[in-house]
Structure 1
Amino acid sequence: MSIDRDKLLEGLDDERALFGLFFAFGNRLQAAGDTFYEEITCKQFFLLICLSVFQGTPPMINELADVMGSSHQNVKQLVNKLEKAGFVTTFYDKEDRRKVRVAATEKIGILSDRYREQEEKFMTGLYDGVTKEEVKLTYKVMTKIEKNLMRIGRRDK
């Protein structure tokens, strides 16, 4: 028996429905992502994507945590698992030995090559029926909501 979620949510205001959708979306995305790669989890893949956006000096774990919207401790655990699997390496900063930096290894390129076609199919399927304008608008709205969340998180500390 399948539940008609739209019918369940009738009468709920859009803000609350969207709030719940964020959680459901995250769960579905992680579940789909965890079946995608044999070698790594969806969260580990997300860390690798975040790592790839840093140009020049490899980031510190806390910088990765900030980009990922996660705690230092959770990112450290992901980094440790990825390092054991050979996808990243960690090293102490040359100027400040208290800082631990994270760098990608060549193994990431092999992973990317192996799954490139599958990734393209996934992205095409994910955005099926969604226009470029809708993607742009969604991105714009989501970044505003994320900034609000970051502000709320700082205020609550």
Structure 2
Amino acid sequence: MDMETLMKKFMIDDESRKQAIFTNIFVIQNKLQTTCDKLDPELTMKQWLLLAITTSVDETLTLTKLGDIMGCSRQNVKKLAIALENKGFVQIDQNEKDSRAASLLVKDKVNEYSEKVRDMQKEILDILFKDFTEREVEQLFFGMIKLNTGIENIKKYIENNELER
């Protein structure tokens, strides 16, 4: 049985579709990571994600804040950062007063790498979204924003319920 066949079993009602979407998010993440890790021997998808986020913001972010954005721990970000530092992409800027305030300094190699893989990345996105209309891409984009808001609401729910325990 393939994923499309499995998903069709959940087309019964709204509650079933929500369950299918929830499950499929994890499957998609796993498939996307394992597939795209094979694209480029230089960087894993998680290393690429860390670089993409770091270079997309106008401020210097701590490893803790990068972890919050990526949805993982500071320790996981630090492991990724060390691997990127060893490859010459970043430098970890340690804060002498507070090790939790360490941040990343992007090196010129990031721009060189981005230039080298730009066409391949565009081609991969074109393949990934080949069967989508412009309207469907727009709807998915705004749906992802709402999904992120829902995740933040779950975090608040958990925090509130932990206080009551």
- TM-score normalised per structure 2: 0.84
Q: 1:16 corresponds to which residue?
A: 19
SS at match of 1:130: coil
Looking at structure 2, the residues matched to 81 and 128 of structure 1 have their Cα atoms a distance apart, in angstroms, of 33
Deviation at 1:10, TM superposition (A): 4.0
The 5-angstrom pairing of residues 57-136 of structure 1 reads 57-93=59-95, 97-98=97-98, 99-136=101-138
In structure 1, runs of 5+ residues without a counterpart are none
Give the residue type in structure 1 aligned to 2:135.
E
Deviation at 1:7, TM superposition (A): 3.1
Please give the per-residue CA displacement for 1:122-144, whole angstroms capped at 9, x wherever unaligned.
Answer: 01101102122211111111111
Which of 25, 31, 36 aligns to 2:34? It is 31
Please give the per-residue CA displacement for 1:43-79, whole angstroms capped at 9, x wherever unaligned.
Answer: 0001110001121x42111111122121111111111
Q: 1:53 corresponds to which residue?
A: 56
Q: Is the 1:64–1:75 Cα contact (8 Å) retained in structure 2?
A: yes
Looking at structure 1, the residues matched to 2 and 35 of structure 2 have their Cα atoms a distance apart, in angstroms, of 21
Task: Count matched residues.
Answer: 152
Structure 1 segments (4+ residues) deviating >6 Å = none
Identity %: 26
Cα root mean square deviation, aligned:
1.7
User: Are the structure 2 counterparts of residues 97 and 40 from structure 1 closer, same or farther at C-alpha, using a change threshold of 3 Å?
Assistant: same
Deviation at 1:38, TM superposition (A): 1.2
Between Structure 1 and Structure 2, the one with more helix by share is: 2
